[in-house]
Structure 1
Amino acid sequence: MTVEDDLDALYGVPPPEFTALRGQLVAQAKERGDPEAARTIGSARRPTMAAWVVNALVRADPAAVDRLADLRAQLQAAHAAMDGARIRELTAAQRKVVTELTRAALTAAGVGGPTPALRADITNTLQAAIADPGVHARLGRLEKAEEWSGFGDFGVSLAVGAKRPDTAAPAPVTPDDGERRRVLAEQRGAAAAALAQSEKVHAAATVTVADRQAALVAARQRLEQAREVLAAAEHDVDVADADLADARHAHHVARSDVERDAAALAAADAALDALT
């Protein structure tokens, strides 16, 4: 067994079994004289439920990894060519692929009735695997749900070449029709005022959206930090458990040595008494 085999096995078990198996694999690595493997395995963190579900998909269907990579390559090419029609086509295909793989991942993991939050984490992780080569490379050994920011190569898909339909030309105005000119001027003034008000409302809404987006990003960052702290604490507990087991073993051995030496001393004293 190599360390890679050990890690594959470790990330293949359900999260509740992760800690116990990690301890066993660390002990086995030490027994076979591979301290580096023991450190690597010991530093592995238990995956969240969403990460484990995506990892289960990769093990059940290795072709899913290639589908995500192929879609990324096609999207990159479409964005580089500024091909709006192709981008829209691939964006629709991306949604379909992610939906299919989310369903397949839940099936592979044997998860029935997933919560909306779990489904969203799985979907976001698959989206991130398409957009981010780093996430894609970690598929199969993901530790936590990933999320794509929405910026970079796969930012907002622009409808390149799309043209806004021409507005209808205003009805001709008779130069001598003063009343009609006055009515049209009033209509134009009202439309301009309405446009100005709409622009103010839009600007305020844009600021609100930006604030809410920033708050959401901050909240998600705090959540990820809390998850990382929890995972680190669980790792520390595992290490402490292992250290305690080693200390108890050493205590047992020392006590046995004391009892043995005490018996030897008693026998020596008896022999000395017999001689004297």
Structure 2
Amino acid sequence: MSVEDDLVTLYGVAPEEFTALRKELVAAAKKRGDEDAARTIAASRRPTTAAWVLNRLVRTDDSVRARLGGLTAELRAAHAAMDGPRIRELTRTQRTLIAELVRAAFEAAELSNPSAALREDVTGTLQAAIADPEVAGRLGRLEKAEQFSGFGEFGAVTATAPARAARTAAPARPKAPAQPTVPAKELRAARARRDAAAKADAAARKAAESAAAEAEELRTRASTALRRYQKILDTLSAAEEEMNTATAELHAAERAAAKADEAAAKAAADLSEAEDALADLDAG
């Protein structure tokens, strides 16, 4: 399995399952000797809820990327041609498409009552994906919500429209409807929540990685100690067996020595009697 396959799998699970699976995939990469893959996987950030919702959307509907990319191309062409009516038409199409994809995203994620902040993050990221192909390219492996600002590359082209109008002496065209705006206070609060959550997530990931490293070190030490203990047990068992053999041999030797002492005492007594008898005979 390649690191790309691992990442596709990793970003396909729910956020609450992400950390445990990331740990498993890092261990698997290390086991197969792919240290680069292990580092890449370990550096992957757990997606926010909004990012996960959109990742799930593009995984369940293959047409999402094509629809977003097609609208991006049409908007770019309309702005390059400075075609006001077409830009307004595509702007309405954009709002309709985003509304449709937002509904589909929450249905795919089985979130029937998303918060206003979550809905805002999903909507803003889809808008950013239309304006910025790089954001669109990250769909499926998003780590966080993206922020939409203006028309991205389109804005620079639109700025030349007044000069073209002056050259052609055409009547002024009405501006395209502005994108709906979010109250600044609500936006700041949402950003603050996102930033706080990102910091908490980073701290939690760092703590988890530190704990995992410490656990791995302790596991290695415990394994080493166990091997040493087993070796000591083996040595002790051999020593006990040797001691038992020596003890049995000692007891046998002691019994043999006792018998030898008895035989020596009897021989000494026999010798004494024989000497006494010889002395009596000599005296007679």
Structure 2-normalised TM-score?
Answer: 0.72
Partner of 1:234: 204
Find out whether 1:250 has 2:208 as its counterpart. Answer: no
1:138 matched to 2:138: yes
SS at match of 1:142: coil
2:253 matches 1:266:
no
User: Where do 1:101-120 residues align within 5 Å?
Assistant: 101-120=101-120
* Distance (whole Å) between structure 1 residues aligned to residue 108 and residue 189 of structure 2: 30
Deviation at 1:91, TM superposition (A): 0.3
Q: What TM-score do the two structures reach when normalised by structure 1?
A: 0.74
Distance 1:256 1:115, change over 3 A: same
Shift in Å, 1:111: 1.1
Partner of 1:70: 70
Aligned pairs, number: 229
Percent of residue pairs bearing the same amino acid type: 48
Which residue is 1:148 aligned to?
A: 148
- TM-superposed deviation, 1:267: 3.5
Q: Could you tell me whether the CA contact under 8 Å between 1:56 and 1:108 is conserved in 2? A: yes
Cα distance between partner residues in 2 of 1:8 and 1:164: 46
> Any idea what SS the aligned residue of 1:154 has?
helix
Q: RMSD over aligned Cα, in angstroms?
A: 2.8
Displacement over 6 Å in runs of 4+: 156-160, 215-221
Partner of 1:45: 45
CA contact (8 A) 1:23 1:238 kept: no
What amino acid does structure 2 have at the position aligned with 1:248?
Answer: L
1:226-250 Cα deviation digits (max 9, x unpaired): 4443332222123123213312321
The one-letter code sitting in structure 2 at the alignment partner of 1:236 is K
CA contact (8 A) 2:117 2:190 kept: no
Alignment partner of 2:58: what SS?
helix
Residue 104 of structure 1 deviates from its aligned partner by 0.6
Q: Distance in 2 between matches of 1:252 and 1:131?
A: 55
Q: Distance in 1 between matches of 2:93 and 2:28?
A: 46
Distance 1:220 1:80, change over 3 A: farther
Task: Give the distance between the partners of 1:111 and 1:8, measured in 2 at CA.
Answer: 22
Q: Would you say 1:26 and 2:31 are equivalent positions?
A: no
Tell me which residue corresponds to 1:97.
97
**Aligned partners of 1:31, 1:251: CA distance in 2, in Å?**
19
Per-residue CA shift, 1:160-186, capped at 9, x if unaligned? Answer: 766489xxxxxxxxxxxxxxxxxxxxx
Matches of 1:262 and 1:254 in 2, distance apart? 12
Structure 1 spans left out of the alignment, 5+ residues: 166-211
Question: Partner amino acid for 2:150?
Answer: G
